[in-house]
Amino acid sequence: MKKKNLYINIGSLIGVSDLYPKRPLKGAEMSRIDKLDNAYLSIAGDTIVDYGQMNDLGNIAEIYNNYDNIYDVKNQFVIPGFIDTHTHLVFAQWREEEFIMKLQGYSYEEIAKKGGGILNSAKKVQTTSEEELFDAALKRINEVINYGTVALEIKSGYGLSLESELKMLRVIKRLKDYTKLPIKSTFLGAHAIPMEYKENRNEYIDLIISEMLPAVADQGLAEYVDVFCDEGFFTLEETDTILNAAVKYGLKPRIHVSEMSNNGGVQLGIAHHAVSVDHLERIEDEEISALLLSDTLPTVLPQVSFFLKIPFAPARKMIDAGLPLVIASDYNPGTSPSGNLQFAIALATIYQKLLPVEAINAITYNAAYALEIENQLGSIQKGKKASFLILNSDVKNLDFIPYHFAANKVEKVIINGEIR
């Protein structure tokens, strides 16, 4: 028998999406958020079965007989759980020594050229056991759950050899099985050119195409493929070649573009029907126009701009032009050592001029589309998973989340009907 749980006296039930368009919110729609004040929410097992206003709940004695548990939310706010569509949270070690180099004036590119950056992480992953990688990543997942994340994407890309890339992807699969969270897995063998292939890039690209992609597909270890298509990493042509190979294995692209330079990666992603193009710090009007004609979801990562002190993606301009927007953390040891999406919301509002409600839609309703889990998550709707957040009692409107930045405004996290 499925357990029936009832949450009563919800101050405001935010993100009730029955009347939303059945596609990502875009342009002016991004500042819409439907809610129900003084509400109840009824759960059976892991699924939302009903909600409404307390006035309509009916006879209290009958209610007590019908439910296994009743939780009094005491007027606090309830919102859909956050979805992080871009992370690299499987890694062996932090890289705080590079943080100090950055403070001393070295750029991300200079640190990468010195063998730091992604190659540094790859060396460590190659010599770390699957067990250790799993334990460390699980800790990070539990950490971000406390900040409100209920579903996420994780990339490989710190392996950079057949064996180590598969090892990372197996860890992601184990994390999915163990945590029961919706976790989407992305193969990012093309994250950097390993040192030993530096003089022979094509050989590494061949390895990706003729050995890594077939093995990943054969073992069912990823749904998506990613390429770091940027200056100093993979060229447009190389990215095109890899994406052409990946599509034959059914891997859909979601790619890193325009972080260091604006190189046409956005247009290439669109041409390959990428589910999303991520970063976009350097995009211009041309890229915005191209995105407007596509179904590819633009995803911005404000924590990277904050941490690397590079420009922020023109998110305000993108929404004003009529685009949908997704925000993610990019949780990784090099460019965003935090997976706290509440901080990403604060940055998106303070530095990218988004309204708090726009930022919240970007990490809930729209993010669900970016991970193709819109039937399960992203809003409060009958039939969707009961994965939602009870906010602290001092939150009396959504603006308070970025306003009271760097504090955790999430009091309780419910995932698939269970209090975590």
Q: Contact positions toward ligand NIG, by CB under 6 A?
A: 88, 117-118, 121, 228, 256, 259, 304, 330, 332-335
Q: Output the six-digit token pair for 65.
A: 């007989």
Shortest spacing between CB 146 and ligand NIG, in angstroms: 23
User: Which alpha helices (DSSP H) does 147-254 contain, by range?
Assistant: 162-179, 201-207, 213-218, 236-247
Q: Alpha-carbon distance 250 to 339, whole Å?
A: 29
Residues belonging to the chain? 420
Contacts of 380 (CB under 8 A, 6+ apart): 13, 14, 15, 16, 17, 41, 48, 51, 78, 80, 388
The percent of the chain in helix, strand and coil, each rounded to the nearest 5, is 40, 25, 40
Residue sitting closest to Fe ion (CB): 330
Contact status, residue 27 vs residue 321, Cβ threshold 8 Å: yes
List the single partner that 42 binds among ligand NIG, Fe ion, none, CB under 5 to 8 Å by kind. Answer: none
List the single partner that 71 binds among Fe ion, ligand NIG, none, CB under 5 to 8 Å by kind. Answer: none
Closer by beta carbon to ligand NIG, 301 or else 410: 301
- Side-chain-side CA neighbours of 59 within 13 Å: the count stands at 4
Q: Output the six-digit token pair for 151.
A: 């579903």
List the single partner that 170 binds among Fe ion, ligand NIG, none, CB under 5 to 8 Å by kind. Answer: none
Contact status, residue 390 vs residue 379, Cβ threshold 8 Å: no
Shortest spacing between CB 256 and Fe ion, in angstroms: 6
Shortest spacing between CB 91 and ligand NIG, in angstroms: 7
List the single partner that 213 binds among ligand NIG, Fe ion, none, CB under 5 to 8 Å by kind. Answer: none
List the single partner that 161 binds among Fe ion, ligand NIG, none, CB under 5 to 8 Å by kind. Answer: none
Closer by beta carbon to ligand NIG, 76 or else 336: 336
Give the footprint of Fe ion on this chain (CB under 5 A): 330
Give the type of residue at 5.
Answer: N
The SS3 of residue 78 is strand
The SS3 of residue 247 is helix
* Residue in 286, 344, 351 with CA at minimum distance from that of residue 312: 351
Shortest spacing between CB 179 and ligand NIG, in angstroms: 22
Closer by beta carbon to ligand NIG, 333 or else 417: 333
Closer by beta carbon to Fe ion, 79 or else 141: 141
Shortest spacing between CB 230 and ligand NIG, in angstroms: 7
111 to each of 34, 78, 337, how far by Cα in Å? Answer: 46, 43, 16
Residue sitting closest to ligand NIG (CB): 334
Q: Output the six-digit token pair for 118.
A: 């992604």
Q: Output the six-digit token pair for 392.
A: 């602290």
346 to each of 94, 378, 399, 410, how far by Cα in Å? Answer: 24, 19, 10, 14
List the single partner that 121 binds among ligand NIG, Fe ion, none, CB under 5 to 8 Å by kind. Answer: ligand NIG
Shortest spacing between CB 142 and ligand NIG, in angstroms: 21
Closer by beta carbon to ligand NIG, 201 or else 404: 201
Give the type of residue at 381.
Answer: Q
List the single partner that 118 binds among Fe ion, ligand NIG, none, CB under 5 to 8 Å by kind. Answer: ligand NIG
Shortest spacing between CB 4 and Fe ion, in angstroms: 41
Shortest spacing between CB 352 and ligand NIG, in angstroms: 17
Closer by beta carbon to Fe ion, 46 or else 330: 330
Closer by beta carbon to Fe ion, 281 or else 330: 330
Closer by beta carbon to ligand NIG, 258 or else 381: 258
